[in-house]
Amino acid sequence: MLTYPLSGSSSELVLNVLTMVLNQGKPLDRAYSHNFSGLKLAPDEQGRITLVVGDMLRRLNLYCFVAQVSIDNFEREGSKVLNAWHYFHGLDLPKMQYSLQIDAKQVDKLIADAKQLPALWDGCPEWLDELGQAQLKDKWSDERAALAKAPKRYIRVNPLKCTRAELKTRLAKEGIETTEVAGVDSALEVTSNSALFRSNCFKEGWFEQQDAGSQMVADAVNAKPGMRVVDACAGAGGKTLHIAAQMQGKGRLLAMDVEQWKLDNLKTRAKRAGAHNVETRIIASSKTIKRLKLSADRVLLDVPCSGLGVLKRNPDAKWRDTPERLPVLVDLQKQILQSYSRMVKVDGMLIYATCSIMPEENSLQVQAFLAENPHFEFIDEEHIYVADKGFDGFYLARMRRITE
């Protein structure tokens, strides 16, 4: 947390970013790039701004309650919320050119009231609290509290270029402090507030930024050199690059998606990482899948999902999403599982994964698939809960094709 208040100009930036996200519907990363471009912000100051924006978004309803401001009015009354945020965290108020003041006595009373309301205290919107309770029962309150915490920064070593120990040493020389992550051999946690992407290690492809939970998912694919592997919802390739490293650049790794711009991004990343066995292919129609029938040793389906396991990292989604989106996604996941599983050859492995913690997208989805598909047998599954290790929340299940 901050030890001294934001400057006036940083406060303005925080308010501009939040207004864009909350009142103009812009994604958070675009709001940052819009507001930061052309500014020569020191990495430390940029870190302080993103810390405040992140925390305000993670517990927005709490801070708005304490400031007595409706989220819809953030554009006009955001300065009051920012003042309340500073007061809440025991900081002097920032010196903004123009700001709405708070009444400290009233704020004290409202903070005491909010403490009695656990969902509000954890920054959870009502619709999400109801969904979490219904899906996760006793587990939900711990998950809800864990989702209100700031995410840690993790990177994945690229074994095509170096070992984890070599990466750690070279990063230290560039002023970036890291610690090893127990139980995830490829992961380092970044503990200093450094500009990772300006480092030579990054430019030379020695690492990728990737949550440790996500690294566990790609680990479970267990691809070997020489195999034929399909990553069918590859996006910009977070897990593809990890799988390419498992394969030591040998064999065929096909990365597919329905969005070409993501695959273009993947190609750039694969080049930097020295992952030469990656081929990309757009999924233009069901024929693209049919042509690959019974052809792959491994098929990873990292399906589109609610993203409710990664809300620490994408807290803006809480204020944009609605519960109506979930059944639509569950249906799409079901179709993808049904259709894309045809690519797995006999004895090959199907890996289904989400960045959600909700059973409806996870084990229930897999159970329904297995009930309708006797060609597959269940191997195992892993629930990566946010409260367990502090990683993002993920789920994965592994299944084997036993007959055509």
Residues 6+ apart with CB under 8 A from 77: 67, 69, 100
Q: Which of 78, 238, 251, 309 binds ligand SAM (CB under 6 A)?
A: 238
- The span from the CA of 28 to the CA of 251, in Å, is 38
Among candidates 250, 197, 261, which has minimal Cα distance to 227?
250
Among candidates 219, 276, 190, 224, which has minimal Cα distance to 394?
219
Taking CB under 6 A as the criterion, which residues in 298-337 touch ligand SAM? 302, 304, 336
Query: What counts of helices (H) and strands (E) characterise the chain?
Result: 18, 11
> Which CB atom, from 47 or from 235, has the smaller least distance to ligand SAM?
235
Taking the complex as a whole, the smallest distance from the CB of residue 244 to ligand SAM amounts, in Å, to 12
Task: Determine whether 233 is an active site residue.
Answer: no
- Under the binding rule (CB under 6 A), the answer on residue 26 touching ligand SAM is no
- Under the binding rule (CB under 6 A), the answer on residue 244 touching ligand SAM is no
Only segment of 93-101, 176-184, 190-198, 258-266 that touches ligand SAM (CB under 6 A): 258-266
- Under the binding rule (CB under 6 A), the answer on residue 274 touching ligand SAM is no
Residues 6+ apart with CB under 8 A from 127: 322, 323
Are the C-beta atoms of 97 and 8 separated by less than 8 Å?
A: yes
- Under the binding rule (CB under 6 A), the answer on residue 283 touching ligand SAM is yes
Only segment of 81-89, 112-120, 228-236, 309-317 that touches ligand SAM (CB under 6 A): 228-236
Question: How many residues are present in the chain?
Answer: 404
> Which CB atom, from 22 or from 233, has the smaller least distance to ligand SAM?
233
- Under the binding rule (CB under 6 A), the answer on residue 342 touching ligand SAM is no
Only segment of 44-52, 221-229, 251-259, 312-320 that touches ligand SAM (CB under 6 A): 251-259
- The span from the CA of 25 to the CA of 329, in Å, is 21
Among candidates 323, 326, 321, which has minimal Cα distance to 305?
326
Known binding-site residue numbers: 257, 302
Q: Which residues are catalytic?
A: 355
Binding residues vs ligand SAM (CB under 6 A): 232-239, 257-259, 262, 283, 302, 304, 336, 355
